Amino acid sequence: MIALIETCTLWYYGEMTKLSILSLVILIAALMVGYSFITQVSSPPKPIACTEEAMLCPDGSSVGRTGPRCEFAECPAVSSSTTPTSTSTGQSGIRGMVLLGPICPVERIPPDPKCAAKPYGTTLVLTSPDQARVIKTFSSDQNGKFVIQIAPGDYAIRSAAAANILPYCASNDTIHVSPGILTEVNVSCDTGIR
């Protein structure tokens, strides 16, 4: 009988040892799975590298790629490229600013103030809306400002040189001039810097 009790006791402790080892293995596996899950959830997302391209905006500035999908950033808001202003003399025409950009080869986010579009003094031409017929040649001053007195109608502005010579300047939209109104326009000049 004592032999039977001893055999049962050894069997019981042997099974308990096996059960303890199995429980310990399951506990370690659960801890490893939990640790890997926690480190994946709490680790920051991997950074995305965008190409250093720049897009020229209508106001003459440029924007680079940004965000998780490397899309171009929004251009600065321009209320309108043409804004009419009444004149006291009753004469119609166009008044505006010529801006040269991009100035730097790569735009940074946030934009570097040294790389903002600069006022540009140059010779331009007033043309028909399709830019085929030159109506008038004029110049902007060193501050980029100009004023043209012209009859009411639809026009466009571009560089005096019609060839692809940089910097190339152009108004973005057809410019509508009303009687007795000075229409305000921003003319962008592309330096070709990319």
pLDDT tens for each residue of 143-183: 999 999 999 999 999 998 766 788 899 988 899 999 998 99
Q: Look at residue 82 in the predicted model and tell me its pLDDT.
A: 47
Number of residues in the chain: 194
Place of tokens 């032999």: 3
pLDDT number for residue 192? 84
94 three-state secondary structure: strand
Q: Is the CATH number of domain 54-190 2.60.40.10?
A: yes
The residue ranking higher by pLDDT, 121 or 25, is: 121
Write the pLDDT tens digit of every residue in 111-123.
778 888 899 999 9
Contact status, residue 178 vs residue 115, Cβ threshold 8 Å: no
Summary mean pLDDT of the chain: 77
pTM for the full predicted model: 0.54
- Name the token pair of 156: 């466009």
As beta bridge partners, residue 54 has 64
CA gap 79, 100 in Å, rounded: 19
Instruction: Spell out the domain ranges in the chain.
Output: 1-43, 54-190
At 94 the pLDDT is 94
Section 84-103 average pLDDT: 78
